[in-house]
């Protein structure tokens, strides 16, 4: 599975100084390695997802490249050693291709995917991972994203309560899956057991930020932004952090657990009060409409229709189906933009491009027509794609 991430491109002679600054700030991506550029004159330094979206002036001369990260095999040696100690060389080499050598960090939790053929070794996998990552509290196995709320089916398979590692009868006080994650310099509360959140979307969110800045430059004012599938709000975290970018905001989701976490996050990012529990979509401040709502029905409310310069559509398996009901949310008195994600078979991309162009109003003059760009594999046959559509103002 591809792991696209930010890398800082630094000429070889400057690497040492830059690396000192990056490590002092804790911005080096854990478990990834620094590698040479194609021309051999520079190094690509992998940045942690928690590193600020805008790096400080001292680093701003260096280009940021979004490309696939390379695993630091040395970090992994530990986990293989522990696994081999627990199971013996024979078993480890028998299932060589199946062991979960990659994993995702969510705060002090680690998420791994365990193939069916090695399910019977789940506790040994959990133990080996905990032994090789001393700062990890909880290990969860990921059964994939399910249902309308796109929640991951997560099972706690191991935990640490110093000085003990548990793979069964895990004490309830260490089993909480609610965590605070630092992404692009901002804290996000999330609980992947009850609401969708993925660290893998960070680079997507940074791309959205750069499109939003482009749209702001065209409109010459802060944007009205609508994120009707916002989950716990990670896309908004990056946008709100940018000064004078977000004017009015509508943020909603169909999952009440996500809305509860969204309120907690907005309270932190906006420094204003929001309810503690989920509430139906409503206006809380002159520039904030937040709450529980079915995205396909929001434009039926005249107060919310025709108001938004930037519309985010992040429900990739239903984006195309929902688009007709979302378009009326756009503010057509000026250029506007939709940024969406779609899951599709590679062979169907031309057809879906055609469909999207049919559904959407005309493309803004001088801008490219919306087109799916493959971001990564979703499964062997399906691709996760994104698109941006610049929409012409209505005469």
CB of 10 to ligand SAM, least distance (A): 30
Burial-class residue 53 by CB neighbours within 10 Å (0-12, 13-18, 19+). Answer: buried
> Considering the complex, what minimum distance in angstroms separates the CB of residue 92 from ligand SAM?
35
Return the residues of window 151-210 that contact ligand SAM according to CB under 6 A. Answer: 196-197, 201
Least Cα distance to 208 among 174, 233, 191 occurs for 233
> According to the binding rule CB under 6 A, does residue 225 interact with ligand SAM?
no
Judged by beta carbon, residue 69 or residue 228, the one nearer ligand SAM is 228
For 162-168, which contacts have Cβ atoms below 8 Å and span 24 or more sequence positions? 165/127, 165/130, 165/131, 167/122, 167/123, 167/124, 167/126, 167/127, 168/123
For residue 163, cis peptide bond before it (omega within 30 degrees of 0): yes
Q: How far is the CB of 201 from ligand SAM (least distance, A)?
A: 5
Q: Which pair of structure tokens corresponds to residue 62? A: 């260096």
Residue 256 interacts with ligand SAM (CB under 6 A): yes or no: no
How big is the chain, counted in residues?
A: 395
Residues contacting ligand SAM: total by CB under 6 A? 21
Nearer to ligand SAM, 128 or 201 (CB): 201
Output the smallest distance, CB 294 to ligand SAM, in A: 5
Question: Taking a C-beta distance cutoff of 8 angstroms, is the pair 173, 160 a contact?
Answer: no
> Which lies closer to ligand SAM via its Cβ, residue 10 or residue 266?
266
Please tell me whether residue 315 binds ligand SAM under the rule CB under 6 A: yes
Decide if residue 352 touches ligand SAM (CB under 6 A): no
Q: Which of 46, 100, 192, 234 touches ligand SAM by CB under 6 A?
A: 234
Examine residue 382 and tell whether it contacts ligand SAM (CB under 6 A).
no
> Which region, judged by CB under 6 A, interacts with ligand SAM, from 52-60, 167-175, 231-239, 269-277?
231-239
Q: Tell me, residue by residue from 69 to 98, as one string, x for binding to ligand SAM by CB under 6 A and - for no binding.
A: ------------------------------
314 binds ligand SAM (CB under 6 A): yes
Closest contact distance (angstroms) between CB of 385 and ligand SAM is 14
- 258 is a site residue for ligand SAM (CB under 6 A): yes
230 contributes a contact to ligand SAM by CB under 6 A: yes
Site for ligand SAM in 275-294 (CB under 6 A): 294
State yes or no: residue 321 binds ligand SAM (CB under 6 A): no
| Distance, CA of 49 to CA of 377 (rounded, Å) | 20
Cβ distance to ligand SAM smaller for residue 125 or 190: 190
Does position 150 interact with ligand SAM (CB under 6 A)? The reply is yes
144 binds ligand SAM (CB under 6 A): no
* 103, 110 contact by CB (below 8 A): yes
Can you tell me which of 177, 296, 334, 357 binds ligand SAM, judged by CB under 6 A?
Answer: 296
Residue facing ligand SAM at closest CB distance: 231
Q: Is 254 in the site for ligand SAM (CB under 6 A)?
A: yes
Asked if 235 is part of the footprint of ligand SAM (rule: CB under 6 A), the reply reads yes
User: What are the Cα distances from residue 76, in Å, to 33, 167, 240?
Assistant: 12, 21, 37
Binding site for ligand SAM (CB under 6 A): 148-150, 196-197, 201, 228-231, 234-235, 253-255, 258, 294-296, 314-315
């Amino acid at each position: 599975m591809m792991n696209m991430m930010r890398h800082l491109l630094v000429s070889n002679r400057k690497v040492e100084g830059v690396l000192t600054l990056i490590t002092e700030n804790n911005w080096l991506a854990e478990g990834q390695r620094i590698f040479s550029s194609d021309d051999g004159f520079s190094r690509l330094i992998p940045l942690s997802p928690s590193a600020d979206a805008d790096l400080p002036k001292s680093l701003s001369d260096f280009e940021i490249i979004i490309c696939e990260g390379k695993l630091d095999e040395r970090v992994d040696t530990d986990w293989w050693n522990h696994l081999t100690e627990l199971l013996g060389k024979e078993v480890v080499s028998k299932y060589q291709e199946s062991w979960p050598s990659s994993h995702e960090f969510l705060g002090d939790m680690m998420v791994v995917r365990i193939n069916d053929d090695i399910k019977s070794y789940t506790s040994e996998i959990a133990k080996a991972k905990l032994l090789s990552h001393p700062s990890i509290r909880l290990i969860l196995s990921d059964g994939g994203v399910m249902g309308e709320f796109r929640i991951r089916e997560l099972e706690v398979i191991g935990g640490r309560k110093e000085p003990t590692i548990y793979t069964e009868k895990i004490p309830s006080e260490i089993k909480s899956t609610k965590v605070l994650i630092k992404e692009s310099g901002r804290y996000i509360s999330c609980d992947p057991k009850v609401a969708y959140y993925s660290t893998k979307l960070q680079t997507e969110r940074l791309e959205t930020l750069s499109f939003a800045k482009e749209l702001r430059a065209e409109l010459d004012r802060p944007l009205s932004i609508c994120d009707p599938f916002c989950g716990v709000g990670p896309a908004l975290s990056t946008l709100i952090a940018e000064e004078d970018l977000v004017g009015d905001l509508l943020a909603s989701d169909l999952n009440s657990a996500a809305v509860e976490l969204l309120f907690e996050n907005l309270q932190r990012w906006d420094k204003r009060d929001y309810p503690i529990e989920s509430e139906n979509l409503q206006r809380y401040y002159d520039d904030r409409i937040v709450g529980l709502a079915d995205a396909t029905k929001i434009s039926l409310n005249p107060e919310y229709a025709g108001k938004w310069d930037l519309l985010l559509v992040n429900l990739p398996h239903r984006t195309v189906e929902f688009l007709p009901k979302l378009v009326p949310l756009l503010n057509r008195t000026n250029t506007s933009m939709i940024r969406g994600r779609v899951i599709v078979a590679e062979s169907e991309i031309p057809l879906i491009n055609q469909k999207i162009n049919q559904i959407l109003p005309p493309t803004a003059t001088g801008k490219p027509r919306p087109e799916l760009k493959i971001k990564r594999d979703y499964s062997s046959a399906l691709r996760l794609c994104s698109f941006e559509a610049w929409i012409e103002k209505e005469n």
